[in-house]
Amino acid sequence: MQIENFIDGKFTPPIDGNYLPNLNPANGELNSMIPDSSHDDVNSAVNAAKSAFSNWSKLTINERIDWLRQIADGLEQRKADIARLECEDTGKPISLAERVDAERSITNFSFFADHAKSIADLEFRMDDATNYVIRKPVGVVGLITPWNLPLYLLSWKIAPALVMGNTIIAKPSELTPSTANLLCEVLDSIDFPKGVINIVQGLGSTVGQAIVEHPEIRAISFTGGTETGKIVARTAAPMFKKLSLELGGKNATIILDDVDLASAAKGAARAAFTNSGQVCLCGSRILVADKIYHEFVDLLVEEVEAMKVGNPKHRDTDIGSVISIAHKDKIHSYIDLAKSEGGEILTGSEFTIPPPNANGAFVAPTLIANLNIDSRCAVEEIFGPVATIHRFTTDEEAIRMANITQYGLAGSIWTGDRARGVAVANQIDSGILWVNTWLHRDLRTPFGGVKNSGVGREGGDWSLNFFSELCNICVKDD
């Protein structure tokens, strides 16, 4: 199969005629060829988005909300295809792709349709005047997304950008192009206005960079690695573009001594190994109170060893492959480093997967104990199914250990005492904290990190504000 760009409502081959292979990491098979687009393709997408802007931005919010609902309905009809394509592009289990990726990609459109209905008019009365705050669209916006949750993260940006009246140039990861293409098929099938959403496929260093550099793209919303985020910020900041950066994480899961051990072990295993640890919110450093350390670790190892690693197409698979062979090698290099630094591998030895996945990019869920809290495996984002385990004696020590990394995205605290959990959560330098749960999301709440985990917040009103220019009109009384 050959995927094309989607520019001005048409499936369009890349101007230079170059294509890249898109491989299934679970078996090495070719999924499709995708455009290896250039600057010129981005320019042509920007021209289409600029022409579409005047009509799209003039629609009423209710008309745009209606389009969001039509997209959600169109995606709903393709739900099984979304899950299958995510499974084939990423190697993630089909059950996870159905439950998380397909479900949330649709919900993002229906959520922002509902949420935009509830935006309140802002007015500030003075003694002798009234201030009216209005929201205008920003213009043409650039959306750049990673491979771990492909359509889930793309739709999380597209839906609020659309509803606020912007037109869009989006670039999915070159490793996971298929569901963005499916979205274009849906747009085509519902006669969505041409040029409002343009998808340019290709590499980050060419297409991504061209989007960030383009003077007529006025806002960039980027989710990806912290190092790429630095490049994006360096390029966009001097052009005074609006910028939202959702970057990496190295999140702590803190197990306090008063916890229900069985449910905490289940929660910690899910937080560490969902999507093979390839979620920026994953809890990859597990901090355990000394008093319960051995009992908890035994239960955790049991939970992890019960996870079935294998063919992502099988319904009973818990852990599929990671995103690529190169990523598998990177993860293994961290495991080797841990061993050389005296880390004890509690579970996660080498294993074989039968054909057709024998050469897939599989890594067993791996738990490592006995590493220093500031060792590289404990502070760098491995972004794979690897978690390190550390002991602490007091809550203060756990907080200090949680806060030593460069990241500040998320974390979870597990305890029998909610007030104690909230008190600990308050002292962790992260944007998102859970007590006795993990990845429990209300889409109205702010989402984003502190320190090197990013700049800005997405979700609910924060997304709507990012994709708007807020203007104040002060009218003096007669």
Q: What is the per-residue binding string for ligand TXE in 91-130, x denoting contact by CB under 6 A?
A: ----------------------------------------
98 is catalytic: no
Helix (H, G, I), strand (E, B) or coil at 188: helix
Q: Where in 58-87 is the site for ligand TXE (CB under 6 A)?
A: none
Q: In 200-256, where do the E strands start and end?
A: 217-223, 242-246, 251-255
User: How far is Cα of residue 197 from the mean position of the Cα atoms in its chain?
Assistant: 20
Residue 246 has φ and ψ, to the nearest 5°, of -110, 110
Window 358-397: contact mask with ligand TXE (x via CB under 6 A): -----------------------x-x--------------
Among 2, 62, 118, 205, binds ligand TXE (CB under 6 A): 205
Is residue 147 close enough to count as binding ligand TXE by CB under 6 A?
Answer: yes
Question: Is the CB of residue 256 less than 8 Å from the CB of residue 428?
Answer: no
Could you say which of 4, 87, 184, 280 is catalytic? 280
Find the DSSP H helices in 59-197: 61-77, 79-90, 94-96, 103-117, 150-163, 178-189
Q: Looking at beta carbons only, is 74 or 277 nearer to ligand TXE? A: 277
Query: Counting contacts by CB under 6 A, is residue 158 touching ligand TXE?
Result: no
Binders in 309-348 for ligand TXE, by CB under 6 A = none
Select 23 or 259, whichever has its Cβ closest to ligand TXE. 23
Half-sphere exposure of 435 (CA within 13 A, CB side): 15
SS3 (DSSP) at 120: coil
Q: Which of 178, 228, 244, 311 binds ligand TXE (CB under 6 A)?
A: 228
Q: Is residue 209 within the footprint of ligand TXE (CB under 6 A)?
A: yes
Q: What angle do CA 141, 115, 144 make, to 5 degrees?
A: 25
Is there binding between residue 212 and ligand TXE (CB under 6 A)? yes
Cis, peptide link before residue 354, omega less than 30° from 0: no
Q: Does 223 bind ligand TXE (CB under 6 A)?
A: yes
CB of 7 to ligand TXE, least distance (A): 18
β-bridge pairing 386-392 and 344-347: unpaired
CA distances (Å), origin 137, targets 59, 116, 168, 326, 422: 11, 13, 11, 40, 38
Q: Based on the residue annotation, tell me whether 396 is a catalytic residue of this protein.
A: no
Q: Which of 13, 28, 193, 225 binds ligand TXE (CB under 6 A)?
A: 225
Q: How far is the CB of 37 from ligand TXE (least distance, A)?
A: 11
Got the DSSP string for 344-397? Answer: EEEE-------TTSTTS-----EEEES--TTSHHHHS---SSEEEEEEESSHHH
> Which one among 23, 72, 106, 144 touches ligand TXE, defined by CB under 6 A?
144
Query: In the complex, which residues of this chain contact ligand TXE (CB under 6 A)?
Result: 144-148, 171, 173-174, 204-205, 208-209, 212, 223-225, 228, 231-232, 246-248, 280, 381, 383
Q: Which residues are catalytic?
A: 246, 280
